């Protein structure tokens, strides 16, 4: 029960950030003697502010708040919302939630509060004791990488999990799902049962110190011809709902090219381009490389080499890919384009001694179907043994 019993009583909502729209509905019942009158109020909030969502009752009237529903209708902004009760002098916080895009909080007539994800699934009760956490071990026996400063992906290496392979989906590719057979070999993240998964901690030891990156691959292809020097057309399917907002627009996603068989190029490559549609739906954008180690392709890419592209200025994501072009032949090798989303980075500085990184609460959201892979920016070409774990909390 939530009562407003004087003309100074209010229920207010504090929003921590500007968002497209925070949509609030409240329902209440007014009691004045024997007279009972229902009421309701809809409120739209677009700024970081304090807003009255249940106004004060009239004199000699008690207002019983029956329900509060608050939805973050933003496309990409997480907002902390705090529900306050004030009697005109004292302000008391009743409940606060971090609402990711599409999420909803609710106050029910019995006095309970509920937090739902964008799919309407109810989060478990709040409190550390109600989190469902698990540590997922990770172990890979990496082979020699390219020259120092280039990227190497351990997906193809033996260990735990075993090797992940792109398969042969053709140039138009396939979307991934880390919980199905086609993508076994990714770091196995079980789908959240009722709430959402969050990556909260990384722990890794390496026999050679490197910068380690964990990422989600949302789409991968095959069948690109390495000797073709003109644009090769690609029609990508709709991405799975695993961008930074849990949507299919590809916000926060980038483009990578992965070698599953070595190439014999005569020199480093900086002239590869990818034509793509950005996360805002603008087509005809061009992703490029830069003539800097780490942002170009090595001269003789080994198995496991991965090259990340620069997006066009102002772009913050990739929705689809339309073509890939290499004006010079790669001569040999097998290559795969990917659309990826970076999850977290951790460095190792002392060999064989674990480095740990705790991610700020609530952690990085891992949407159902996450296909998590690992890569490093090599500090040396030496074959490396990787051993560690990722901690995932469901809330």
pLDDT of residue 129: 46
The answer to whether residue 381 sits within a structural domain is yes
Question: Across all residues in the chain, what is the average pLDDT?
Answer: 94
Kindly state whether residues 47 and 161 are assigned to the same domain.
Answer: no
Task: Give the pLDDT score at 73.
Answer: 92
Q: Are residues 163 and 237 in the same domain?
A: yes
- Whether residue 127 lies inside any domain: the answer is no
The predicted pLDDT at position 179 comes to: 97
Mean pLDDT within 106-122: 88
Residue of 195, 71, 198 lying closest to 121 (CA atoms): 195
Average pLDDT of the residues in 30-52: 95
Same domain, 277 and 349: yes
pLDDT tens per residue across span 72-102: 998 878 899 999 999 999 999 999 988 988 9
Angstrom distance (rounded) from CA 174 to CA 177: 10
Helix (H, G, I), strand (E, B) or coil at 285: strand
Q: What is the DSSP string of 169-225?
A: --TT-EE--TTSGGGBTBB--PPPSSS-EEEEEEEEEESS--EEEEEEEEEE-----
Residue 239 lies in a domain: yes
Average pLDDT over residues 55-82: 93
**368 is a domain residue:** yes
State whether 148 and 197 are in the same domain.
Answer: yes
pTM of the entire structure? 0.72
Query: Which carries the bigger pLDDT value, residue 34 or residue 78?
Result: 34
**Both 107 and 137 in a single domain?**
no
Q: Which of 95, 122, 149 is the last residue of a domain?
A: 122
Residue 68, pLDDT above cutoff 60: yes
Same domain, yes or no, for 197 and 267? yes
Nearest to 2 by CA among 95, 103, 126: 95
Clarify whether residues 26 and 147 are in a common domain.
no
Q: How many CB atoms lie within 10 A of CB 167?
A: 15
* Residue 46, domain extent: 2-122
pLDDT band at 352 (very low <50, low <70, confident <90, very high): very high
One domain for residues 136 and 226: yes
Arithmetic mean of pLDDT, 271-278: 98
What pLDDT is attached to residue 212? 97
- Identify the band that residue 109 occupies on the pLDDT scale cut at 50, 70 and 90: confident
Cα dihedral sign, 141-147-153-156: negative
236 with 151, same domain?
yes
Backbone angles phi, psi at 231, to 5 degrees: -60, 135
User: Is position 315 within any domain?
Assistant: yes
pLDDT value at 126 more than 80: no
Burial of 20 (0-12, 13-18, 19+ CB in 10 A): middle
pLDDT at residue 131 in the model: 58
Residue 287 has pLDDT above 60, yes or no: yes
> Does residue 322 sit in helix, strand or coil?
strand
Q: Which of 97, 122, 147 finishes a domain? A: 122
58 and 8, same structural domain?
yes
Residue 124 has pLDDT above 70, yes or no: no
Q: Residues 127-143: pLDDT tens digits?
A: 544 557 889 999 999 99
388, part of any domain = yes
The rounded percent of the chain whose pLDDT value lies above 90 is 86
pLDDT band at 206 (very low <50, low <70, confident <90, very high): very high
**Residue closest to 334 by CA, chosen among 304, 311, 310, 363:** 304
Structure tokens that stand for 376 in this block: 């490093």
What total of structural domains would you count in the chain? 2
3 state SS of 128: helix
293-328 tens-digit pLDDT: 999 999 999 999 999 999 999 999 999 999 999 999
Query: Omega into 161 within 30° of 0, i.e. cis?
Result: yes
Q: Give me the mean pLDDT over the 207-214 stretch.
A: 97
Statement to judge: residues 15 and 52 lie in one domain: yes
Let me know whether 67 and 110 are in one domain: yes
Q: How confident is the model at residue 391 (pLDDT cuts 50, 70, 90)?
A: very high
Q: Specify burial of residue 31 (Cβ count, 10 A radius: 0-12, 13-18, 19+).
A: middle
Residue 93 belongs to some domain of the structure: yes
Mean pLDDT of 241-255: 95
Contacts of 50 (CB under 8 A, 6+ apart): 12, 13, 14, 84
User: Which of helix, strand or coil describes residue 368?
Assistant: coil
Backbone angles phi, psi at 128, to 5 degrees: -60, -35
- For residue 265, give Cα distances in angstroms to 109, 268, 293, 297, 346: 69, 7, 16, 9, 31
Show which of 55, 90, 122 is a domain's final residue: 122
Give a yes or no: residue 220 inside a domain: yes
């Amino acid at each position: 029960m939530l009562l407003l019993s004087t003309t100074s009583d209010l229920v207010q909502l504090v929003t921590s950030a500007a968002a497209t729209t925070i949509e609030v509905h409240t329902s209440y019942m007014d009691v004045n003697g024997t007279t009972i009158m229902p009421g309701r109020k809809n409120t739209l909030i677009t700024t970081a502010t304090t807003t009255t969502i249940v106004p004060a009752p009239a004199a000699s009237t008690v207002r019983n708040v029956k329900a509060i529903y608050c939805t973050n209708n933003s496309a990409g902004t997480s907002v902390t919302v705090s529900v306050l009760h004030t009697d005109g002098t004292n302000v008391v916080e009743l409940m606060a939630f971090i609402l990711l895009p599409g999420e909803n909080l609710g106050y029910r007539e019995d006095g309970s509060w509920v937090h739902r994800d964008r799919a309407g699934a109810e989060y478990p009760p709040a409190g550390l004791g109600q989190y469902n956490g698990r540590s997922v071990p990770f172990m890979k026996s990496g082979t020699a990488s390219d020259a120092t400063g280039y990227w190497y992906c351990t997906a193809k290496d033996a260990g735990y999990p075993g090797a992940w392979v792109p398969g042969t989906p053709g140039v138009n590719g396939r979307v991934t799902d880390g919980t199905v057979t086609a993508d076994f070999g990714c770091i196995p993240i079980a789908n959240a049962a009722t709430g959402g998964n969050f990556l909260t901690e990384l722990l890794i030891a390496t026999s050679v110190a490197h910068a380690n990156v964990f990422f989600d691959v949302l789409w991968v292809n095959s069948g690109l011809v390495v000797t073709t020097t003109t644009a090769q057309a690609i029609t990508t399917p709709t991405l799975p709902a695993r961008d930074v907002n849990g949507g299919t627009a590809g916000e926060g996603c980038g483009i990578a090219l992965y070698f599953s068989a070595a190439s014999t190029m005569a020199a480093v490559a900086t002239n590869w381009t990818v034509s793509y549609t950005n996360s805002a739906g603008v087509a005809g954008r061009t992703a490029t490389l830069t003539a800097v180690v780490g942002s170009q392709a090595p001269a003789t890419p080994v198995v496991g080499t991965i090259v990340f592209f620069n997006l066009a200025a102002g772009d913050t994501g990739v929705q689809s890919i339309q073509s890939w072009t290499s004006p010079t032949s790669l001569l040999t090798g097998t290559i795969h384009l990917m659309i990826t989303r970076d999850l977290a980075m951790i460095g190792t500085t002392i060999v064989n001694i674990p480095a740990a990184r705790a991610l700020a609460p609530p952690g990085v959201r891992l949407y159902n179907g996450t296909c998590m892979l690992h890569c490093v920016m090599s500090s040396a070409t030496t074959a490396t043994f990787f051993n560690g774990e990722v901690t995932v909390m469901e809330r």
